[in-house]
Structure 1
Amino acid sequence: MKLDVLSTPGHLVGLAARGFARLSEARLKPLGFGLGHLPVLVALRDGQASTQRDLARFARIEQPPMAQMLDRMERDGLISRAPDPADGRSRRITLTAVAEARLPDAIAALLLGNRDVLHDFTEEEAGLLRVLLTRLVTNLDRIAGVEPLPATLIIGTRD
C-alpha cells in the first residue's frame, strides 16, 4: 500500500493541532487568554516553574518568544514579576488574582472543546489516542535531542 504524504501521521497530527488551536483560541479569547498562555499559567499555578527560563523550558519555546509573551501577559494583568531574593539577576513570576480567577473557566472551556471533538470516540479510543500521542511526543523529543517532559505533564495529570 502506497502511503500518500497527505495521509502520514505528521501531516494528520499537524492538521489536528491547527484545528485544536483554532477551537481553543476561540474559546479562550473571551476570557482574555491565548492558547500559548495556558502552559505558562498552569506551570505557575502548579509550582512547576517560576522564572522565564523555566517557563520557556516547560512550554517548549525559546527564550525570546517567552519574554515577549510574558511582557504581554504582564501588560494584560495576568502575571506579575518581582526580583528573586535568591538571585538578583532573576525575577520570580506569579499569577495575578485576575488570572487565578479566570483560569478555571479557561481550563473548563478547553476540556469541553476536547470532549466535543472526541464525542464519537469510545472511552477506550480516547484513552488509546492519549497514550499514542504521549509516545509520539516522547519520540519527537528523543529525536530532537531535547529533555523529555514527564508523561504526567504531557497528558496533563496532576499529582
Structure 2
Amino acid sequence: MKINRNAQWAPETIATFWINQASRLLMRTFEQRLRPLNFGMAYLPVAIALEEKGDMQQKQLADYASVEQPTMAALLVRMERDGLIVRKPHPVDKRSSYISLTRQARVTLPQVKESLFDVVEQATNGMSDEECSALVSSLQRMIKNLET
C-alpha cells in the first residue's frame, strides 16, 4: 500500500490505526474477563509453558516468553503472590529453583482459556473463516515486515 504523504493526516483511514485500536480494546476486554479469575494476560505465556512443558527455571521461562530476566522475575513474584506458581529448590544448583503451577492455577487455566475463546468469538463475530484467515495472514506479514 502506498501512502500519500502529502495528504492531510487522517489516521482513521490507515490500517495501523485500527490495528492499534483493536489491540488496545482486545487487551482491555481480555483483562476484564480474566480479573475475576485472579489472572492477567501477562501470566498466560508462563502458565501455558508450565502446563505444556512441566517445571522450568526462570531463565527458560524468560526465553520461552521472549522477555528479559528482570521482567520475568517481577512477573513470577506477582504470580507467586497470586497463588499461581510455586518455586522448588534446584536439586544441584542451590542458587536456582524450578517453577511449577499450583493446583489453583491448574484448576483456573481451563476457565482462563474459555474466557479467551469467548473474547475471540466476540471480536470475530460476523466474520467468515476466510476473513479471519486473511486477517491472520495480513497481520503475520505486517509483523514480519516490522521485525526485519
TM range (shorter): 0.7 to 0.9
Partner residue in 2 for 1:100: 106
Q: Deviations over 1:29-54 (max 9, x none)?
A: 00010111111111111118712222
Q: Deviations over 1:45-95 (max 9, x none)?
A: 111871222222222322212211110111111001112225433221110
Q: In the alignment, residue 17 of structure 1 is paired with which amino acid?
A: S
- Aligned counterparts of 2:60 and 2:10: Cα–Cα separation in 1: 36
TM-score (norm 1): 0.78
Alignment of 1:77 onto 2:83: yes
% identity of equivalent residues = 37
Within 5 A, what are the aligned runs for 1:54-93? 54-93=60-99
Spell out structure 1 runs of 4+ moving beyond 6 A: none
Q: Once superposed, what is the RMSD of the aligned Cα atoms?
A: 2.2
Q: Residues 12 and 57 of structure 1: is their aligned pair in 2 closer, same or farther, counting only changes over 3 Å?
A: farther
Indicate the structure (1 or 2) with the bigger Cα radius of gyration. 2
TM-score (norm 2): 0.83
Q: Which has the higher contact order (CA 8 A, sep 6+)?
A: 2
Count of paired positions: 142
Contact between 2:55 and 2:100, CA under 8 Å: does it hold in 1? no
Structure 1: gaps (5+ residues): 144-159
Alignment of 1:113 onto 2:119: yes
Structure 2: gaps (5+ residues): none
Alignment of 1:29 onto 2:29: no
Is the partner of 2:94 in helix, strand or coil? strand
